[in-house]
Structure 1
Amino acid sequence: MLVQIAFTLLTTGLLISAALYTDSLKEQRLWAMGNIASCLGLALGAATGLPDLVHACLSYGVMGLGLALILRGLRIFGRQELGIGWMVGIVLVPLAVTAYFTLVQPSLPARLALTGMYFGVLNWVCAATLLRHGNGHGVSVTVVGFVALGVSLFVRGGYLLVNPQASDQAAMEIMNFTLFVIPLGQVCVMFGLILMVVRRYAERLRMLSTIDALTGALNRAALELQGQRIMQRARQGLRSVAVVMIDADHFKQINDSFGHPVGDEVLRHLSVLLMGQLRPNDLLARYGGEEFVLVLDGLNSTSAVNVAERLRQLVEQATVTAEGQSVRYTVSMGVTSSGIHGYNLMQLISAADAAMYEAKRAGRNRVHSG
């Protein structure tokens, strides 16, 4: 028991240290609180001098709360949720079992067996949650830990339930097995959770380095990196690639007339509208200011012009509502393709930019191919 508490305290300290940062993940804070509760529950279980009912209810109730907090954190990590009602239910089950086998039908072996099996099942639920919703983000170590804990607790509880008075060699072997596996499982879970936090922060950094914060489109650096890959694959596959430069017409007037918050909403609206029409292999990037670039894999100039014209019409028909005001706007587009200018991304962007300015000079709200 003391070894379990020591392992839990050590790894909980690491989670708490990371959770103290102001921008820490919500699930990270829940895992830290859950481990504090689990550690407190284990300590209460080892305490003496309290009435049996109070001792058992405090120990199992607090451990149940700890697992409920951890499970909620796992659900949030997987972009899911766990309602307060479910958390209350998780805590009430071991309390009800404890009360029944302490007051109604007193039986220490049954109480220990059923609560142990229940906590084993909860660990399996945690493992299943990660397998289903964790998206493979470094969760394997944590899953192994939860499965090992579940097996140890369930086997020990099941054996005690079937053999409540067991004190033979088999009972000792099972006890030794669980005393060996449970600390290892806890270490796997705790360090697995820390690994998951690190991976999630790495995702954040990758997003910050590749995504435009205002619009959600790729930024210029990501466009150049991913666009070059598309060009290379297209050249090897002998297929065409089209590039479309898009500019919001009279955007400065929108900012001056309606304010920058409305202008920002126009850019977000344009980005969302364009992304909603793209195929999985296409790219959309904010190139600068009110300019966006589309990279359309597998399309020649004629097909790309048709796509651009459809997008232009969608923009023209749309209305943006922001700051209590309704705004309509248009875009000018320039289109080119590798069939005309080759597979150099920057040359294609330059040619599409020149074609876009031709569309501006021709009266705006139109598509020009160059």
Structure 2
Amino acid sequence: MFHEQTLLLVEVCFTLLTTALLVAAALGVGKQAELRLWALGNVVACLGLALGVQSGVPTFIHAVLSYGFMGLGQALVLRGLRLYAGQDLSLKSLVAIAAASLLLPAYFTWVEPSLTGRLVASGLGFAALDLACLVTLLRVRDRTRAMMWVAATGFGVLSAALILRALWLLLHGDAPADQELVANGTLFIIPLAQVCIAFGLVLMITRRYAEELRRLSLTDRLTGAYNRAALSTLGLRLLQRARRSGRGVAVAMVDVDHFKHINENFGHAAGDEVLRQLSALLLAQLRPGDLVVRYGGEEFLLLLDGLNGTTAERVCERVRKLVVETRINLPNAELNYTVSIGLSSSEASGHELEKLINAADSALQKAKAEGRNRVLLG
């Protein structure tokens, strides 16, 4: 069996190394708040471990304050995980966790002196925090879910080790040999769990960052709609699925009427606001499975999954009427605008994207020639 001081040195070294890994990852992928909290939590917990083995210091430091630092460190990690999962852990909760981590060992140090009681109560408290981290990870539903199992395994192993240690101590009392056995066993497991946790967290944040870059590469920055690069991939994928399942697809080309006039008379900022407002209206009216693409300067392309020409015409007519009713408040004026919409469907043009777009564009040109502010099915 390794000496306790040796195992503790290994634990501290692993904590510092995993902290360095988290800090380096945070600097490399955009300084996410989650990674800063995870790294800070590791540092604080490491400080607590170091205080816990100091000899020749007041009892309050090695038997009470050290546990408070370890509890605060775990709470910071939990807050980072909840932030990653789109939740939060309030400052009051952080303070409450740190206070509980102090009060439990204080009770078993001065009120009811018992080393076993202190180890059991604090261990179960830390195990509960690890379980809270595990549950938070299990609730993540995005594309990083596959990556979170590495960190989740670490939290699960750490929690299980602390619970088993508490049960062992409850059964075997204050025997020094038993205390040394379980303490050394726990110190052996903790570094292994920390490696799983640190690498899992880095994998999660890196995957999410990569997904965000991918999303940005497929999105028009001004309007939030998809761009033409996305149309080449997502549009073709939608049409392939529709063809295989025998569903119809409609394509609508939406053009802002007299957009040049808007820019000349109200300024380019007003023109940008028109495009943003129109994009938001289109995204709100269409279904999640449909695609809204900024196709050109003032043109949007809609791919309407599962609709035939007649149904798509009704949808686009509703959109056209909503645009007519919309007012945009500018600093010195109120702006209203209209749109012309050309439609095509797979009933007439098949499931080839280029043919559908060309047919919709031809219908759009006819709608503009006939007076604009109308929907025309080609």
Matched letter for residue 143 of structure 1 = A
Q: Does 1:194 align with 2:198?
A: no
Which residue pairs with 1:131 in the alignment?
Answer: 138
Counterparts of 1:187 and 1:94 in 2: how far apart (Å)? 24
Counterparts of 2:244 and 2:141 in 1: how far apart (Å)? 36
Equivalence map 1:310-325=2 (5 Å):
310-321=318-329
Equivalence map 1:329-348=2 (5 Å):
329-348=337-356
* Alpha-carbon offset, residue 45 of structure 1: 1.7
Which residue pairs with 1:233 in the alignment?
Answer: 241
Q: Is the 8 A contact 1:75 1:129 kept in 2?
A: yes
- 1:168-202 Cα deviation digits (max 9, x unpaired): 66x66644543332221111111111111111111
Counterparts of 1:123 and 1:57 in 2: how far apart (Å)? 20
Structure 2 unmatched ranges of 5 or more: 1-7
Change (3 A) 1:112 1:239: closer
Which residue pairs with 1:356 in the alignment?
Answer: 364
Matched letter for residue 263 of structure 2 = N
* Alpha-carbon offset, residue 264 of structure 1: 2.4
Q: Does 1:142 align with 2:142?
A: no
* Alpha-carbon offset, residue 99 of structure 1: 2.3
Which residue pairs with 1:56 in the alignment?
Answer: 63
Which residue pairs with 1:219 in the alignment?
Answer: 227
Which residue pairs with 1:307 in the alignment?
Answer: 315
Change (3 A) 1:48 1:289: farther
**With structure 2 as the length reference, what TM-score do the two structures score?**
0.91
| Bigger mean CA deviation after superposition, 145-154 or 52-61 | 52-61
**With structure 1 as the length reference, what TM-score do the two structures score?**
0.93
Q: Does 1:289 align with 2:297?
A: yes
Please state whether the residue corresponding to 1:288 is helix, strand or coil. Answer: coil
Counterparts of 1:20 and 1:236 in 2: how far apart (Å)? 45
Matched letter for residue 215 of structure 2 = M
- 1:114-141 Cα deviation digits (max 9, x unpaired): 1111001100100001101354251111
Q: Does 1:76 align with 2:104?
A: no
Equivalence map 1:236-275=2 (5 Å):
236-275=244-283
Please state whether the residue corresponding to 1:213 is helix, strand or coil. Answer: coil
- 1:262-299 Cα deviation digits (max 9, x unpaired): 33232222112111222232111111222111111222
Change (3 A) 1:256 1:35: farther
Matched letter for residue 146 of structure 1 = F
Change (3 A) 1:257 1:33: farther
- 1:28-79 Cα deviation digits (max 9, x unpaired): 1111111111222222222222201123333112111211111111011111
Please state whether the residue corresponding to 1:343 is helix, strand or coil. Answer: coil
* Alpha-carbon offset, residue 89 of structure 1: 0.9
Matched letter for residue 314 of structure 2 = N
| Bigger mean CA deviation after superposition, 258-267 or 54-63 | 258-267
Counterparts of 1:294 and 1:85 in 2: how far apart (Å)? 48
Which residue pairs with 1:98 in the alignment?
Answer: 105
Percent of pairs identical after alignment?
Answer: 52
* Alpha-carbon offset, residue 162 of structure 1: 4.3
Counterparts of 2:54 and 2:330 in 1: how far apart (Å)? 60
Residue among 91, 109, 115 paired with 1:108: 115
Counterparts of 1:204 and 1:143 in 2: how far apart (Å)? 23
Q: Is the 8 A contact 1:117 1:158 kept in 2?
A: no
Counterparts of 2:344 and 2:287 in 1: how far apart (Å)? 18
Residue among 119, 134, 147 paired with 2:126: 119
Q: Does 1:366 align with 2:366?
A: no
Counterparts of 2:108 and 2:176 in 1: how far apart (Å)? 21
* Alpha-carbon offset, residue 366 of structure 1: 0.9
Counterparts of 1:323 and 1:126 in 2: how far apart (Å)? 49
Matched letter for residue 46 of structure 1 = V
Q: Is the 8 A contact 1:331 1:365 kept in 2?
A: yes
Counterparts of 1:206 and 1:23 in 2: how far apart (Å)? 15
Q: Is the 8 A contact 1:137 1:199 kept in 2?
A: no
Counterparts of 1:165 and 1:238 in 2: how far apart (Å)? 73
Q: Is the 8 A contact 2:115 2:174 kept in 1?
A: no
* Alpha-carbon offset, residue 312 of structure 1: 0.8
* Alpha-carbon offset, residue 361 of structure 1: 2.0
Counterparts of 2:370 and 2:100 in 1: how far apart (Å)? 73
Matched letter for residue 48 of structure 2 = G
Please state whether the residue corresponding to 2:293 is helix, strand or coil. Answer: strand
Aligned CA RMSD, in angstroms, stands at 2.1
Q: Is the 8 A contact 1:123 1:150 kept in 2?
A: yes
Q: Is the 8 A contact 1:265 1:322 kept in 2?
A: no
Change (3 A) 1:363 1:324: same
Aligned length: 369
Change (3 A) 1:114 1:341: same
